[in-house]
Amino acid sequence: MSEALINRLVEFAESGNQQKIVLAGQSHQGWVMEITEDALLISTGFAEKTGQDMWIQFADLPQAELYYWDNQHDQWAEFKL
């Protein structure tokens, strides 16, 4: 994947307190833990007991909605790639 996309995903991962990815009607809320050459890993839940890790392929991102938690306004803010 392009370096520009990876840089935007790093910016997304560093935005807000949490991130949310809505893809195919499912919402995955948590923290971006890893970014590879073709996917990102979002970890949901807390205390490692109730959450799960989900790999989101870059090829799926055009159909996804990305959000981050804006602490200043206490609401989800959309993130555009």
* Cβ pair 47, 55 in contact under 8 A: no
Two tokens, residue 34: 């890893």
Q: What is the four-CA torsion angle of 45, 51, 57, 63, rounded to 10 degrees?
A: -50
Q: Which of 35, 31, 81, 34 lies closest to 61, judged by CA? A: 81
CB atoms within 10 A of CB 2: 8
Rounded to two decimals, what is the model's pTM? 0.88
Domain that holds residue 27: 3-79
Q: What is the pLDDT along the chain (81 residues), one digit of tens a residue?
A: 688 888 999 999 999 889 999 999 999 999 999 999 899 999 987 655 677 889 999 999 999 999 999 999 999 999 998
> For the chain, what is the domain count?
1
- pLDDT of 76 reads 97
List the CATH number of the domain containing 42: 2.30.30
Please state, in angstroms and rounded to a whole number, the distance separating the CA atoms of residues 58 and 64. Answer: 10
